[in-house]
Structure 1
Amino acid sequence: MFSIGDFAGLGRVSVRMLRHYDAIGLLRPAHVDRHSGYRYYAASQLRTLNRIVALKDLGFTLLQVQTLIEEKVDSGEMRGMLRLRRAELAAQVKRDNLRLAQVDARLRMIEIEGHMDTGDVVVKTIAPLRVAELSAVATSYDDPSSITENLSPLYPRLMELLAKAGVAITGSPIAYYQAAPTGPEDETITVHAAFPIGDAEVGGEAGFAVVVLPAIEQAATALHQGSMSEAFRTGQKLATWIDDNGYRTVPPGYAREVYLDCPPDDFDKWVTELQVAVVR
């Protein structure tokens, strides 16, 4: 048997927490000295304590934890629940790291305001382009984590479908965006992942759409170097150039993205052309 202090140390929880668990009937001591009132715990109770802590870490309330403990969740179920929670936390860390990178990039942009070089913006005509594409819906254009989560998986899936259909890819991957609101407060957008396929014949059951991206008579273009999580840097450069040179964007104003070089394991080396339709 272990004193409450020793048991707390072994279980890596506080004595206060063990007293609380006792008070609510979640984890009673194995023995309470009737003269001193001292609580004592058995080593076998560490198994229950581990489950309580694990379930709390999964986000369950203590009342829910008590129900699950009483229902005797087995080790296999517990492992499954913990793996799911771990995946959720890893996804959250990834989103938070992305937001942190964006904050850092915006701070750098603020530091160079008024000194931005827009000399490499080029106006060009973009010819119509026949592409194969898959699409998904993201929460908003200004939520890069949602765009990445919804857009990125489309490319490998589309490549598999193209290979299965025997359709060759004839150019760089492309992304473009369209507003898809379902109400006045809804900012959702449809994200499109596309590959040029030229004049290739495509059967009716290919599993992807074939569309012709319209020509852009005048596109203000610039190369973005690095991760697309910082694409707003190049977007701001384009906006400054457009304003300084008497142009205006063609609604809805989303940039078309052409991924000229995109090493899968090194986002910092990506080279992407942003194309924004403009008129004078």
Structure 2
Amino acid sequence: MYTIGQFSKIGKISTKMLRHYDKIGLIKPSFVNPENQYRYYEKYQVKDILRINKLKIYKFSLDEIKQIIEDKSNETLKKLLQKQINYITNEIEHNNSILLELKTSVENLKKGDDIMASKRNFEISVNNLEDKLVLSLRDIIPMDNISSLIGKVFQNIYRNNLEVCGNIMTVYYDEDFDESNADIEVCIPVDREFQTGTIIKTRILKGGLHAHTAFVGSYNEIGEAYAELTDWIEKNHYEIIGAPYDKYIKGPEAKCNPNEFITEVYFPIKHK
């Protein structure tokens, strides 16, 4: 048997955390001395603590690790591994986009360009759009996690043999912007109705009169398009009657410079 101190050194984890693992039922000592409450661990538990450490490296939560350990069929592990693959892939794409944008900014600065100055011109149109059938997922999340919502919707599309019939859209419901708690809905047009029995479901994205424009550039500068549309709507005697949404025409999947991303921005409107 190993004392908790010895097991702590073997597992490269603090005794405080081992006590926490015991409390939540993640890994319990094989024997607790009833007289002094000293904890002892067996040799076979070494593989358990090493497995927990490995799953932590994969960025699983302790609750997820407990689910994995309790499911002897490994189905939970398969599902959560795929989830983590999708999450990390999206993170890599997001960070690669930022890296490319940073490099471009450095090059432009070397040329003497003002990287903060905008040279964009916006062409604003008003159209009566048709209703769209979409598979959607709405959640309150940090803005950086939009890609994870998109991934979940696509997983349900592929798992249930739905056909994608248009570009990805994100609807923004917040009246006041909160980067860490944004009320966002991801919508992807599909070919037929489908109910998963969860919060991911098909619904009709209402059409009607919309003012819209195309924005070319990195997502973190798309506020320019929002400002132009808001001003145009006011000046032309319209009013906004619903949540705006972005439609992604060209993005990270194109492996292009973020300055070449194309996003269409839509505002539902009516005449005053």
Q: Distance in 1 between matches of 2:184 and 2:174?
A: 6
> Over residues 161-188 of structure 1, what are the superposed CA-to-partner deviations in whole Å (9 max), with x where a residue is unaligned?
243xxxx44333333233499xxxx945
Structure 2, unmatched stretches of 5+, are 23-27, 30-38, 61-83, 106-113
Aligned-pair CA distance for 1:65: 8.0
Task: Please point out which of 214, 219, 225 is paired with 1:231.
Answer: 219
For 2:156, what is the secondary structure of its paired residue?
helix
Do structure 1's residue 83 and structure 2's residue 73 form an aligned pair? no
Query: Could you tell me the percent identity over the aligned residues?
Result: 5
Aligned-pair CA distance for 1:94: 7.9
Do structure 1's residue 260 and structure 2's residue 253 form an aligned pair? no
Task: Please point out which of 50, 62, 70 is paired with 2:10.
Answer: 50
Do structure 1's residue 71 and structure 2's residue 61 form an aligned pair? no
Residue 12 of structure 1: aligned partner? none
Q: Compared with structure 1, are the counterparts of its residues 105 and 242 closer, same or farther at alpha carbon in structure 2 (3 Å cutoff)?
A: farther
Residue 209 of structure 2: aligned partner? 216
Q: Distance in 2 between matches of 1:256 and 1:237?
A: 13
Report if the CA contact (8 A) 1:138-1:188 is conserved.
Answer: yes
Report if the CA contact (8 A) 1:134-1:158 is conserved.
Answer: no
TM-score (norm 2): 0.55
Residue 161 of structure 1: aligned partner? 160
Q: Compared with structure 1, are the counterparts of its residues 60 and 84 closer, same or farther at alpha carbon in structure 2 (3 Å cutoff)?
A: farther
Amino acid at match of 1:189: D
Residue 26 of structure 1: aligned partner? 5
Q: Compared with structure 1, are the counterparts of its residues 263 and 190 closer, same or farther at alpha carbon in structure 2 (3 Å cutoff)?
A: closer
Report if the CA contact (8 A) 2:173-2:184 is conserved.
Answer: yes
CA-based RMSD of the aligned residues comes to: 5.0
Task: Please point out which of 133, 136, 148 is paired with 2:135.
Answer: 133
Residue 151 of structure 1: aligned partner? 150
Q: Distance in 2 between matches of 1:154 and 1:205?
A: 11
Structure 1, unmatched stretches of 5+, are 1-23, 28-46
> Over residues 116-167 of structure 1, what are the superposed CA-to-partner deviations in whole Å (9 max), with x where a residue is unaligned?
122144324251232231314132xxx332222223221232243243xxxx
TM-score (norm 1): 0.54
Larger radius of gyration: 1
Report if the CA contact (8 A) 1:161-1:208 is conserved.
Answer: no
Q: Compared with structure 1, are the counterparts of its residues 209 and 242 closer, same or farther at alpha carbon in structure 2 (3 Å cutoff)?
A: closer
Q: Distance in 2 between matches of 1:266 and 1:209?
A: 30
Equivalent pairs, count = 213
